[in-house]
Amino acid sequence: MIRIVIRKFLEVLLFLLVITFVSFLFVRLAPGDPVLTILNVDELTVSQEQVEALREDMGFNKPLLVQYGYWLIDFIQLDFGTSYSTGQPVMEIILLGLPATLELTFGALLVMIIVAIPLGSLAALYRNSWIDQISRILSIIGAAVPSFWLGLILIDVFSARLNWLPSMGREGSATLILPALTLGLAISSVYVRLLRSSLLDSLNQEFIRAGRARGLSELRIFFAHAFRHSLPPVITVFGVSLGSLIGGVVVIEVLFAYPGIGKMVVDAIRQRDFPLIQGYILVMAVIVFIVNTCVDLSYRYLNPEIKIKEREISR
């Protein structure tokens, strides 16, 4: 276990070094000049001397590697810089928006679990039945419909026509329902079919037939053995698709004017706010890395064969 922790620690150091350099390079090479945005050249008359003076004060006249070195030193000291548009520390802005994004993410995951687990399980238990056919049709529709279009439909029905739910902002739990439902339904279609396929594979294993021969009930066989055995592929796909989930959060936050860090970074891109964009990329990269690490560690519990192999290697 200590070896795993040390290896993961070294991996995260290398990962952060690579992601900071690549993201810094891409952000700096992107079109647009933050100096002109800060000076509001479209509204004010600004001389070239003022532009060059501000660019020198901000360090933009130095080579990219030198700029990255200064930024990396600040990052090691947990200083993400100051937002160009608001003048607030980047970490303070991110910490203000992060709870809303996590709230929306967990809400979407809850919707996905409520939809995917029962529907995928019933489709596997009653293979080729009308339940299986309905799950297949819903999965195809869910995979084909873009999340933003689904969000517009839900806004039109439940907010504009029925006036049941608010469609914008973050004021109370009611404002979370539509965005979480939109994102949760959009991602659940993948996991319904995946869970069904994985459960069918588990139900055909030798240990399932052995359990039935021993007289175990079908409920115990399904929940205690088959369902647990079917989870690793689902969790693997979740770890891989986490980036898509985060991208979906950005789209949904903009659509519902939900004040999370996804909407924040879209505004930052418009304003060429480099420190805020850089901070967002790093925070999301760390979150993805932590989730993938948890996925790797969860295999030790869900798949006992890994523990057996590790013991054999240690001998």
pLDDT digits (tens, 9 = 90+) for 126-137: 777 888 788 888
With a pLDDT cut of 70, the percent of the chain lying above it is: 81
Question: Which residue in this structure is represented by tokens 């369902």?
Answer: 227
| R_g of the chain computed on alpha carbons | 24
Q: Which helix (H) or strand (E) holds 19?
A: helix 2-29
> Which residue did the predictor score with more confidence, 260 or 221?
260
- Among residues 173, 174, 179, 120, which one has the least CA distance to residue 148? 179
Q: Which residues, 6+ apart, have CB-to-CB distance to 267 below 8 Å? A: 85, 273
With a pLDDT cut of 90, the percent of the chain lying above it is: 0
Tokens of 166: 């608010």
Query: Which has the minimum average pLDDT: 58-62, 274-278, 311-315?
Result: 311-315
Average pLDDT over residues 229-249: 72
Q: What is the pLDDT of residues 133-192, one digit of tens each?
A: 888 888 888 777 777 788 888 888 888 888 888 878 777 788 888 888 888 888 888 888
Q: What is the pLDDT of residues 198-231, one digit of tens each?
A: 877 777 777 777 777 777 776 777 776 777 777 7
> Which residue did the predictor score with more confidence, 269 or 312?
269
Per-residue pLDDT at 76 exceeds 60: yes
Average pLDDT over residues 254-261: 82
State how far the Cα of 297 lies from the Cα of 143, in Å rounded to an integer. 29
Share the mean pLDDT of the chain.
Answer: 77
Q: How confident is the model at residue 41 (pLDDT cuts 50, 70, 90)?
A: very low
Tokens of 220: 């115990």
Per-residue pLDDT at 23 exceeds 50: yes
Q: Which residues, 6+ apart, have CB-to-CB distance to 273 below 8 Å? A: 34, 83, 84, 85, 267
Q: How confident is the model at residue 34 (pLDDT cuts 50, 70, 90)?
A: low
* CB-based contact 241:187 (threshold 8 Å): yes
| Other CB atoms within 10 Å distance of the CB of residue 127 | 13
